[in-house]
Amino acid sequence: MRTLGRLLIGLIMVLVALWGYFTKTEVNPVTGEKQRVSLTAEEEVTLGVKSAPEMASQFGGLHPDEQVQQTVKRIGQRLVQQSDASRSPYTFNFHVLADPNTVNAFALPGGQIFITMGLLKRLKTEDQLAGVLGHEIGHIIGRHSAEQMAKQELMQGLAGAATVALADPSSPATSAYIAQYVANIVGLKYGREDELESDDFGVKYMIQTGYDPNALLDVMRVLEKAAGGQRQMEFLSTHPSPANRNQRIKEAITKYTEANPAGVNPPS
């Protein structure tokens, strides 16, 4: 009877988690895609603005060189204003973080985009910088943070249901660990898909704005070199393997170049 009761409670928790997830549906104003998100566009903007100072503080604050800041802002705003991203409800802001060692860029919900000095100093051309910023703009346009939050809430609900339904009275900690581990592994898949979609957005926006999207392939080489060849297997990484990512970028370049014949040369 106790086992049956646990299974019944677990089933109810699953239904509640699924109902909560599938009722969080909105249409993306740029892509027209139906998405399940935990935040409205207004809430994304508020969360991003409130989180921006904390993001900066974790990477040594903002870089003090105002000319550097303005250069990044200029390129970022060009990408937004002259591409489909201009149709989004977000107000984009671009920031250079002072951290000279971390090689990365980040996008907070609602339009806050950051690039570390550690990555910026490794980029050789404006097109390469546009590739990085275009990719991060893609995360925001794709509403990836809001989608991830909705998916995490679903996975937490399902993991909690599994913990209740499959609880082993002699080893409750083990059951909880397994349920959470499975939820985490499933969640990683969404991260890889988001990265590939952001690459696609980045290529599209670069072409629409007049930048050479082949520079995004150069950025991949910069990131791979910075990683020193130390990568996890793709299945256990939130980022796709460089080979897979490069191939998808080349396909996007060909796709959007054909749609815009006045654009750039196809990738070699």
Q: Over its length of 268 residues, how does the chain's per-residue pLDDT go in tens digits?
A: 566 665 565 566 556 545 555 667 888 888 889 988 878 899 889 988 888 998 898 899 999 999 999 999 999 999 999 999 999 999 999 999 999 999 989 898 899 999 999 999 999 999 999 999 999 999 999 998 888 877 676 556 545 544 544 454 444 444 454 444 444 444 445 578 889 999 999 999 999 999 999 999 999 999 888 877 555 544 445 566 667 789 999 999 999 998 766 555 444 4
Output the pLDDT for position 13. Answer: 57
Note whether 106 and 140 are within 8 A (CB): no
Output the pLDDT for position 136. Answer: 95
Which residues does residue 113 pair with via DSSP β-bridges, in sequence order? 94, 107
Output the pLDDT for position 6. Answer: 56
Backbone phi, psi, residue 262, to 5°: -85, 5
Other Cβ atoms within 10 Å of 248 Cβ, number: 17
Output the pLDDT for position 258. Answer: 84
What residues have CB less than 8 Å from 266, skipping those under 6 apart?
253, 254, 257
Output the pLDDT for position 95. Answer: 98
Other Cβ atoms within 10 Å of 221 Cβ, number: 12
> Could you state, in order of their start, the residue ranges of all structural domains in the chain?
2-259
